[in-house]
Structure 1
Amino acid sequence: MNTPLPPQSLDELLSRAKMMAGLSLGQLAAGLGWPVPANLKRDKGWIGQLIEQELGATAGSRPEQDFLHLGVELKTIPIDRTGKPLETTYVCVAPLMNTRGLHWEQSLVKHKLEQVLWVPVEGERDIPVADRRIGTAILWRPTPQQSASLRQDWEEIMEFIALGKVHRLSASHGEVLQLRPKAANAAAKTECIMEDGTVGLTNPRGFYLKIPFTQAILRQAFDY
């Protein structure tokens, strides 16, 4: 199994991403010595892990940018034939305890989204995994307006959490950012603040970018 070294510069990262464009996942996997799953039911993160390996990402599961030395987060994004994202985009785990004094400027959401390399990948289920093609990568930084929208949603969601109202949050909250359960199964539990100030248990939650937000990023980049 081949293990590419981390890119030493932003130009090297972008060059690697450019070389992937147009390849199928099967071609990329063959070059790395990876077997291709028949489907992604049990391998949901396989595509992202494959792209991470090819580009030399270093973060793994650590709560930091994938290319911390370059200040870049990597996000693969499954798209349909029209270029629309097929699902929301996971950003990071949400803190449900010890939220006092936590501000947007120090948040993991802001850190993760300061600079993102988006890698579109064909994601429609009727295309065999090995045949799905990789698109042209986009290096994106949020505009002031996008940053303001992210910050507003994050602050409103975090206020719910701090007040012990995490159970009242649904995926419909937030204009561009939402909070959803994030766990391998519904039995997973983590501590959270309850409305009476005590500590209770709930499903872990994660921050996700809503589809219209990521669709706008792609539209802006590809002008469609």
Structure 2
Amino acid sequence: MSVVDVPVSLAHDLVAALADALSPLGDGPSAAAAIALVTVAVRALLVPLAVAQARAARDRARLLPKIEALRTRHGRDPMRLRRELGALYTREGVSPFAGIGPALAQLPVFAVMYRLFVSATVNGHQNLVLAHTLLGTPLGQNWIGVIGASGLLAPQSLVFLGLFALLAAVAWWSSRQTEGPLRLLPFGSVAVAAFVPLAAGVYLLASTAWTAAERAVLRRRIAMA
């Protein structure tokens, strides 16, 4: 077992055990609920990193007019510009790299969760999470495979279309909190969900919904502070 496989195996056992504990909900709902709950729990643990990232974004936005003024004044003298920017960051108590660390720290967690939901096997054994179904659709199946085998309006395809609709609603909400070309970025989750297993789609829905809610709350609280 490699170092990468260890956290994936642990996450698999956790989700599978939680799905068994939620079995009174039914085979499909229990597994989907387990995926959503584990995703939310992991994101809750990462809240301190998200707070640090939001504060860094606030500080960068606050200093942006001064940074632009320095670039206009010293744009032809790169060394002077670097000195002036460094002095500005020091004077304001802001690191130009603030927010990068929290973002990078979150990537391994997201990579583990994503790999869990797209891997047919975990540690050489069947991925038990993907053995479940949701409304009759295997969590290990993807939408492209479904429409290729059964057609666009097959019952299993309709499950995916419902998931896409929910992801699009979350993306629209998230895009309202974003400015510029990045407003279209949240809609990428819909495109990704079309090619990954249904389990990964459920994970994307839970994770993107948490991100949108978290961003709205942190923006309000940090702005008030």
Say yes or no: TM over 0.5: no
Alignment TM-score, normalising by the size of structure 2: 0.31
Higher helix share: 2
Radius of gyration: which is bigger? 2
Higher strand share: 1
Higher relative contact order (CA 8 A, sep 6+): 2
